[in-house]
Amino acid sequence: MDAASERVEELTEESLDAGILEFSDAWEEAYNEMNSNLDLEISVNEEGRVQFPGRNSLREYDRGGNLSGSELQLLNISFVCTLSRFAVENDVTQWETIVLDEPLSNLQEEENREAAIDYITGLDQQLIVTTSNQDLDSEFNKVEVLQRSPLQMTLGDYL
């Protein structure tokens, strides 16, 4: 019985590793489709930390790390799109819509911005994208303009 339990544990670990590798490969492919610079290799270590080979050492995915704003933005867009695709394909959930809040705001390079637009508009899922850049209106099939209006309340509203 112990040998069977050990084998089940081994197979579970191998399956998990294969799933993580499959996801990180798909994430990497999505990221590199949007990045006009050098391709980035994405790996996930045993602790679940996301790492990228750098010039002299491994770089890690975190807000305080040594990744540029553009790299973080593209990693976030590609991650959520890849996660959504995997979740739907594996019947984990039936997400019908991806919401991206200002996804292009930190992309300084025009090539990356265009590639990101091409990538997200080429997805099979419905997108809701917020942006203050009206130049992007022509990139999407349907555009709704939200009007800002001041919120006015008085203390009497709460008493």
Answer whether 107's CB lies under 8 Å from 74's CB.
Answer: yes
Of 36-40, 49-53, 117-121, the least confident? 36-40
| CATH number (domain holding residue 115) | 3.40.50.300
Most confident of 52-56, 93-97, 126-130: 126-130
pTM greater than the 0.75 cutoff: yes
Question: Who wins on pLDDT, 44 or 81?
Answer: 81
**Which residues form the domain of 23?**
2-158
Contact between 120 and 97 under an 8 Å Cβ cutoff? The reply is no
Closest listed residue to residue 27, CA positions, set 41, 38, 17: 41
> How many structural domains comprise the chain?
1
Q: Residue 140: pLDDT band by 50, 70, 90 thresholds?
A: confident
Exposure b/e, 38-77, CB count within 10 A at least 16 = b:
eebebebeeeeebbbeeeeeebebeeeeebeebbebbbeb
